[in-house]
Amino acid sequence: MKNSQENIRLPNFHVHLVRQHDDDFINEDIALAEYIGTYGKGLILYFYPKDNTQGCSVQASDFTALSDEFAKLGYVVLGVSRDGVRSHQNFISKKELGIGLISDPDETLCQHFDVIKEKMMYGKTHLGVVRSTFVFDKTGEMVASFRNVKAKEHANALLDFLKNL
C-alpha cells in the first residue's frame, strides 16, 4: 500500500450523508470537520466510482466488516461517490452496509480531493472517480492518502497501516 502525504486538511464542506440505523435510513446534511469534532474520532474518507458495482461492493463490504476495528483505532469510515441518495439507500440495503455514504452528485468533494480523472473503459475514455482513500485525525489533519487503490483487500491493508502508525 502506497501512502502519500499531501497538504490537505479536511474541508468543512456541507455534505449529504446516508446511513442506516436499524431499519430506518438517516439522511442528514453534515459539515465534515464538525462531524468528526462531534464524535471525537478521526475519519477515513474513501472515494469509489459507483454504487452496486462489483469492485465497489467488495470494498464497501470490507469496510463494513472492519468498521468496529477502525472504530477501536479511533476512526469513522465514510464512503463517497457521485451517486444520489436513492442509489445510496439501495446500495446500503442490498449489501447490508454498516457504514455511511456521502452523496456527491455535484462533485464538490471529488473535485476538492482531485479524484476525477480520465479513465478508459471498453476502448472509450470518460471522466470517472479514481478509487482513493484519505485518512484524517480527530483534528482534521491528514494522516495519510492512498490513490488508485484496488478494491479487494484495501480495507485490510489500510487497517494494518493504521495499526502500525
Q: Could you give all domains of the chain from N- to C-terminal order, each with its CATH number?
A: 14-20+27-163 (3.40.30.10)
- 151 vs 119, more confident: 151
pLDDT tens-digit readout, 24-72: 999 999 999 888 988 889 999 999 999 999 999 999 999 999 999 999 9
Residue 110 known to be catalytic: no
Find residue 117's DSSP bridge partners.
Answer: 128
Catalytic option among 10, 18, 30, 56 = 56
SS3 131: coil
Assess whether pLDDT exceeds 60 at residue 115.
yes
SS3 69: helix
Mean pLDDT of 87-94: 97
What is this structure's pTM? 0.93
- Residue 4's pLDDT is 59
Q: What is each CA distance from 78 to 16, 70, 118, 123, 125, in whole angstroms? A: 11, 11, 24, 32, 28
Number of residues in the chain: 165
Mean pLDDT of 107-132: 89
